Amino acid sequence: MVHAVVGAQFGDEGKGKMVDYFAVKADMVIRYQGGSNAGHTIVNEHGKFALHLVPSGIFNPSTLCVLGAGVVVNPGRLVKELETLRAANISTDGLVISERAHIVLPLHIWQDQYEEHMRSRKVGTTLQGVGPTYQDKAGRFGMQMGELLDVERFRERLQNAYHTKLQRIPGLAQFAGSFDEMWEELMTAREVLAPHITDTVPLVQEAVRTGRDVLLEGQLGIMRDVDWGVYPYVTSSNPIAGGISAGAGIPPTALTRITGITKAYTTAVGEGPFPTGLDDEVGAYLQEKGQEFGATTGRTRLCGWLDIPTLRYGAWINGYTELALMKLDVLSGLSEVKLATAYELDGQTYDLPRLAHEMERVEPTYETLPGWQEDLSGCRHFDDLPAAAQAFVRRVEALAGVPIRYISVGPDRQQTMVMEA
């Protein structure tokens, strides 16, 4: 079975926990896009980890973890991540990196810093160099991980890239380091990563053709997709299910199951429109109780009521076969809970998201439901939930038009209940 886990909101939905949950039975986990600009927080029997590049299946020693061709890899960051895992006695032998994945070079990070500094209206980039790497990939200036294996050729290519970048962007010099510093950093990482770099197509092909359990791990969510998100406040790749074939090297006809991950409320970090955001005591309550701080940057996530138009939008574009509803426990303690069921703009009603400049002006239409006071962290079955929480889940399911198969009531792998199909 080929099973994809994708973000149904603005990212930070809890994909890491669910990939960790599913990976226990997976033979292969593939990360198909993005870079170190987002993190997956995982809590399991080994401890608490924030993974930025390594697929979340790394905790299962029998799972092969693949960084696909659609990923952009920061070698230094990846090495540090591997060192953290090894320090916790987690084997990293099962990691393979596509030779076609592009390298996030130090000069891409310098460019990211320069471009954000120069913008009159910030995009909210994490300054990880991801956007400039994808720019160079599309512009055919990029460098692939497989090129690290031929040191002499790589040095020649890197020198050309370094001097060309400084010539093309004169203002970059104030942010740039020296070529020698960049070279030393990359060669140090190369010593660790070289054994992991390979042609991943035969590995993936064999797994799919023989019916192995293959799990696909997306980064961020549909509203940060470069084509379908709130552009320009988006990432530079396609987190949607449609990006899987290009990023992982799997034919679209092989995909059999798509789990959309959504919180029971909505969060967003960075710049851009966020229609249901709450700048009040309820927003602060959700933020504190949900520990809404970015795994990569530590930035505070703005919190708001669950945005149903976004879920509907993702249900169509991603084709969810099921939903996982995360952090239902965070809503405990509220006297009432709300669902944004549509948007109003200039006298028109919309049940799907609009362009970013319109999303900045929409007014959500809310449906109010009774809240509940009970602590849900110990619930393991749907019937254990209080009646109001059950009603909330069923209403979300009905409005989204997709069955909710999983409900999370805490960060641990065991705090996940499975609904009857």
What pLDDT does residue 122 have? 60
What pLDDT does residue 124 have? 61
Is 171 or 353 the better-scoring residue by pLDDT? 353
Q: What is the CATH number of domain 2-100+197-258?
A: 3.40.440.10
Do the beta carbons of residue 310 and residue 13 sit within 8 Å? no
What pLDDT does residue 297 have? 61
| Residues carrying an active site annotation | 12, 40
What pLDDT does residue 208 have? 97
Residue 40 has pLDDT above 80, yes or no: no
Residue 28 has pLDDT above 90, yes or no: yes
Sketch the domain layout of the chain as residue ranges: 2-100+197-258, 102-194, 262-418
Closest CA to 129 of 151, 146, 113, 152: 113
Q: What is the mean pLDDT of residues 36-56?
A: 81
* 18, 41, 65, 81, 89 from 85: Cα distances, Å: 19, 13, 14, 6, 7
Q: Which pLDDT band holds residue 120 (cuts at 50, 70, 90)?
A: low
Is 49 or 94 the better-scoring residue by pLDDT? 94
CA separation for the pair 125, 136 (Å, rounded): 17
Do the beta carbons of residue 265 and residue 303 sit within 8 Å? yes
Give 170-199 pLDDT, tens digit per residue: 888 878 789 999 999 999 999 999 999 999
What pLDDT does residue 126 have? 75
What pLDDT does residue 42 have? 77
Q: What is the mean pLDDT of residues 109-128?
A: 76
CA atoms in the 13 A half-sphere facing the CB of 408: 26
- Domain covering 262-418 assigned CATH 3.40.50.970 in the classification: no
Counted residue by residue, the chain has a size of: 421
40 exposed, middle or buried (CB, 10 Å; 0-12, 13-18, 19+)?
buried
Give 203-236 pLDDT, tens digit per residue: 999 999 999 999 999 889 999 999 999 999 999 9
Ordered DSSP codes for 193-238: HGGGEE--HHHHHHHHHTT--EEEEEEEEGGG-TTTSSTTSS-SS-
Average pLDDT, the chain: 93
Do the beta carbons of residue 14 and residue 263 sit within 8 Å? yes
Q: Do the first three CATH levels of 2-100+197-258 and 102-194 match, i.e. the same topology?
A: no
Residue 30 has pLDDT above 70, yes or no: yes
- Domain covering 102-194 assigned CATH 3.40.50.1970 in the classification: no
Residue 36 has pLDDT above 80, yes or no: yes
What share of the chain has pLDDT > 70, as a percent? 96
Is 174 or 202 the better-scoring residue by pLDDT? 202
Q: Which pLDDT band holds residue 270 (cuts at 50, 70, 90)?
A: confident
What pLDDT does residue 421 have? 66
Q: Which pLDDT band holds residue 286 (cuts at 50, 70, 90)?
A: very high
Q: What is the mean pLDDT of residues 393-407?
A: 97
Residue 160 has pLDDT above 70, yes or no: yes
